[in-house]
Chains A and B, each alone.
Chain A
């Protein structure tokens, strides 16, 4: 397995380079113009000058190589300098966003806390809730619990977050006045009072996202458990006199985890891709909101960098999933 992991890690380098090239070309080909949000009162000649100042005059391969150099050389140096107080990156051009003309990586760092608090936490909650629900629904198939779970998860998945978010705001902010409708990203936790405020402002977006994610994971968990509950080995295990608890939670669960692990691993990078609509509805302004506004503003360096980080996470978590398959089912071999 170690051999496999190392080989995959090495292989991932050309994969990621290729992915970054494809993304770059795609963004270059996509219609859209960083000047689109500039008012029409600014004359075209001025816009052309502004475009030149963004470096859009350079040919595409030069811009790509520039980006590679900045991402793999300059940005790590900046991070190194930041930690150790050195000055390797002095005077070097960092990746600069078209919209704000500030370094992309510092914006990413700025957006990280609210993204992790809201999107990350809701993903953790969703997984923690969905797995037991899935197991129990399958074990007591067609019980009222299962029926209710099916109904809620299907409604939860088929109602888009742009709707459920607005609904929650209307009920809990406008009518009841319990929670703030707008997330305050400058809020810092200093004591119990401010912690309580943080909980309140997170409550609605976290709930919306948890419902959505839990619906998906619990469906896969349930289906997979159902498949395994009828297998011969379950009968054998029961016949051996193992307790029901051990049979279900050890034998069946372990064998049912493969599709669930896949779904969960596919979802983790999405935390960093952000929950675009939910962030928009509650003005969380995390990474998702940043990505979508960058796309709308045709802010290529920002989109390129974010999607590339996203790609790294995808490759990484799919590798982790593959390793987990081998652990869950030792018969799976990659060599």
Chain B
């Protein structure tokens, strides 16, 4: 592979439209690797990213997000809005029109009945549908004719694009899944492993947690697509071996989520077999600060609002912790080009992005020390750790097991050490940390530590539900079986009022203002310390064209447009 051909490959992959003479199946076989293997092809059974994305090769929603975060029609003719009359003035109904002549991969026509069935399928009790939240507040789905779907909401929906939009809520075939509703949902193994869809590919063979073999859908709506006749989606291994198989050995064409050390990727890229694609979404690596006391001596009231945290209740301490961090360096070490330092917990889409907190981008160790001094935290006994009223600045810092997170922990520990804060590190297996097992002391909800680090984001482009995470009532506590997303146990009437305000505001600019205000409040209270805005990073071979990385939807959203670059 000379430099010139590599360059040609890069140029060719920028061209969005493949050559006009391309026809379905002309480009042979494409190999995709996901280092976490999909366990099922039904996104309603498992909400995991790997399942959503592999299913998106087969199942499609009415509309989905493109790489810019804009909603574009897929099975629908157009995206309904208030302006074009598709969404009612009271924001309680949305009317979708299906494209004409759409067929399932078995040759039968797609009708509005299938769309209605999808809603029933996911909301019937006893099934445990993982995407039921998408259908929240839907009271009725009407099908006046074969191509029209009218969705009625019980409350005004300023953002009505939950149901049937995005990789999370694709349409399933009524004929196939009619007997798989409710408690029968899980027992339909055959259906769940090879759903009939409208997407570019059809499942030939599905081996759970291992490999999916697919072939082109003979009834796909564009007669010239997909360019590949067959596809393999292999799972297993780790991010590094996935990156290696594309960038170094060239065995695979596309590798999902190749998030490994930037140094390593650079060395792999030098082989000239492939390239990296990255794009930014809403994923933020952050440190959560516990506002409640996790002291084991408190028994049942441990880490609950009954006892404020002895040292972290002091704003000065929280602020100093944030100031001592060099976010640019963290980004460089951990994520390279696939990350950028951020001072916001809500970094995107652009209209929601606040600039009020950008001072945190520069590390200020001296400033942090000064703030602590001023607040009365001084090192009186000369052990290098500050104290006040007999309380030492000593923290337990937990995170999930992940090489980059452990590196981050070590560096942050050092910076905090420089400002006189002692840190003990702990890493917890992800299956325990992110699990909601109320019996385990190590979950991120229980937060039996002083600070914890993980990443979170939200689906799609609307931050309303995400910002509502830090409402007072969302705090995990024994009464809620420790469920809830308000890890810092942040509690402010002012904030709750903003959340309520946003729920009834339809105007996009006002919504943006509210979201920014909420973000700024969290940032200036320093209950969340954002570190890095993490992009998606995937790799594809130089011979695979048409890849457009999309962080708002499935990465494989445009697999129909992928093609082989001829050398």
Query: Footprint of B on A, CB under 8 Å?
Result: 29, 31-54, 93, 96-97, 99-103, 106-107, 110-111, 169, 173-174, 177, 180-182, 184-186, 280-285, 289-290, 293, 295-298
**Distance of A54 Cα from B126 Cα, bound (Å):** 9
Asked whether any CB of chain A lies closer than 8 Å to the CB of B376, the reply is no
**Chain A residues, Cβ within 8 Å of B551:** none
Which residues from A are CB-within-8-Å of B258? Answer: none
Query: Would B39 and A42 count as touching, CB distance under 8 A?
Result: no
Quick check: A49 and B128 within 8 Å, CB to CB? Answer: yes
| Complex contact B207–A169 (CB within 8 A) | no
A100 adjacent to B209 (CB under 8 Å): yes
CA distance in complex: A295, B208 (Å):
15
Task: Report yes or no: A32 in contact with B133, Cβ–Cβ below 8 A.
Answer: no
Let me know if A285 and B37 touch, CB within 8 A. Answer: yes
* In the complex, B325 has a CB within 8 A of chain A: no
B247's nearest neighbour on chain A, judged by CB, is: A174
Q: Count of B residues near A, CB < 8 Å?
A: 69
Q: Mark B425-456, 1 if CB is under 8 A from A, else 0.
A: 00001111111110111110000000000001
Chain B residue numbers with a CB within 8 Å of A35 are: 435-436
Given the complex of chains A and B, what is the CA–CA distance between A54 and B207 in angstroms?
Answer: 21
Chain A residue numbers with a CB within 8 Å of B236 are 280, 283-285, 289
Most buried by A among B431, B443, B485: B431
Are the CB atoms of A36 and B431 closer together than 8 Å? yes
Q: Which residues of B contact A51 (CB under 8 A)?
A: 128
Partner of B210 from the list A96, A101, A185 (CB cut-off 8 Å) is A185
Task: Tell me whether B241 and A182 are in contact (CB under 8 A).
Answer: yes
Q: Is B249 an interface residue (CB 8 A)?
A: yes
Are A185 and B436 in contact, CB atoms less than 8 angstroms apart?
no
Chain A contacts of B234 at CB under 8 A? 182, 184, 283
Q: Would you call A46 and B133 a contact (CB within 8 A)?
A: yes
- Pair B434/A186 contact, Cβ less than 8 Å: no
Q: In whole angstroms, what is the CA distance A41 to B485 when docked? A: 10
Q: Which residues of B are interface residues toward A (Cβ below 8 A)?
A: 33, 37, 39-40, 45-49, 126-133, 183, 185-187, 189, 192-193, 205, 207-211, 213, 232, 234-238, 241, 244-245, 248-249, 251-252, 429-437, 439-443, 456-459, 465-466, 480-481, 483-485
Q: Given the interface contacts A41-B457, A44-B485, A285-B211, does A101 sit within 8 Å of B244 by beta carbon?
A: no
Across-interface contacts of A111 in B (CB, < 8 A): 210
Per DSSP, chain B at the interface is loop
CB < 8 Å: which of B187, B433, B466, B481 contacts A93? Answer: B187
Q: Give 29 CB contacts A-B under 8 Å.
A: A31-B441, A33-B437, A36-B430, A36-B434, A39-B48, A40-B457, A40-B485, A44-B436, A44-B483, A46-B129, A46-B133, A50-B47, A53-B127, A53-B185, A100-B192, A100-B208, A101-B185, A103-B189, A174-B248, A180-B249, A181-B244, A181-B251, A182-B237, A185-B210, A186-B205, A186-B213, A283-B235, A289-B236, A293-B209
Q: Are B187 and A101 in contact (CB under 8 A)?
A: yes
CA of A295 to CA of B481, assembled, Å: 23
Known: A31-B437, A37-B434, A53-B127. Is A42-B237 also a contact (CB below 8 A)? Answer: no
Q: How far is the CA of A51 from the CA of B236 in the complex (A)?
A: 25
A97 proximity list for chain B (CB < 8 A): 39, 208
In angstroms, Cα B56 to Cα A225, docked, is 61
Cβ contacts under 8 Å, B193 to chain A: 100, 102
Whether B437 and A174, one on each chain, are in contact in the complex, defined by CB atoms closer than 8 angstroms, is: no
A40 / chain B contacts, CB cutoff of 8 Å: 434, 456-457, 485
Work out how many contacts link A and B, with CB atoms closer than 8 A.
196
Chain A residues with CB under 8 Å of B45's CB are: 101
CB distance from A55 to the nearest CB of B (A): 9
Cβ-defined partner of B435 (8 Å) among A32, A44, A50, A53: A32
Chain B residue nearest in CB terms to A102: B189
Q: Contacts A36-B431, A285-B211 hold; do A96 and B249 have CB atoms under 8 A apart?
A: no
B-side contacts of A53, CB under 8 Å: 126-128, 183, 185-186
Asked if B186 and A96 make an inter-chain contact with CB atoms under 8 angstroms apart, the answer reads: yes
Contacts of A298 in B (CB 8 A): 431, 435, 437
| Docked CA distance A38–B46 (Å) | 7
Most B CB atoms within 10 A — which of A111, A289, A293?
A293
What is the distance, in angstroms, from B188's C-beta to the closest C-beta of chain A?
8
> What is the chain A residue whose CB lies nearest that of B132?
A46
Smallest Cβ-Cβ distance to B454: which chain A residue: A40
Contacting residue for A32 out of B245, B432, B480, CB 8 A: B432
Chain B neighbourhood of A282, CB < 8 A:
237
Which single member of A32, A42, A106 contacts B47 (CB below 8 Å)?
A42
Q: Are B436 and A36 in contact (CB under 8 A)?
A: yes
* A48/B48 contact (C-beta < 8 A), A53-B126, A100-B40 known: no
Q: Are B130 and A38 in contact (CB under 8 A)?
A: yes
Cα A102 to Cα B208 in complex, Å, equals 8
In Å, the complex CA distance between A38 and B485 comes to: 14
Residue of A46, A102, A177 touching B249 (CB-CB under 8 A): A177
- Cα–Cα, bound, A44→B128 (Å): 12
Contact of A101 among B133, B189, B435, B436 (CB under 8 A): B189
Q: Which residues of A contact B47 (CB under 8 A)?
A: 38-39, 42, 46, 50
* Contact call A280/B430, Cβ cutoff below 8 A: no
Chain A nearest CB: distance from B133 CB in Å? 5
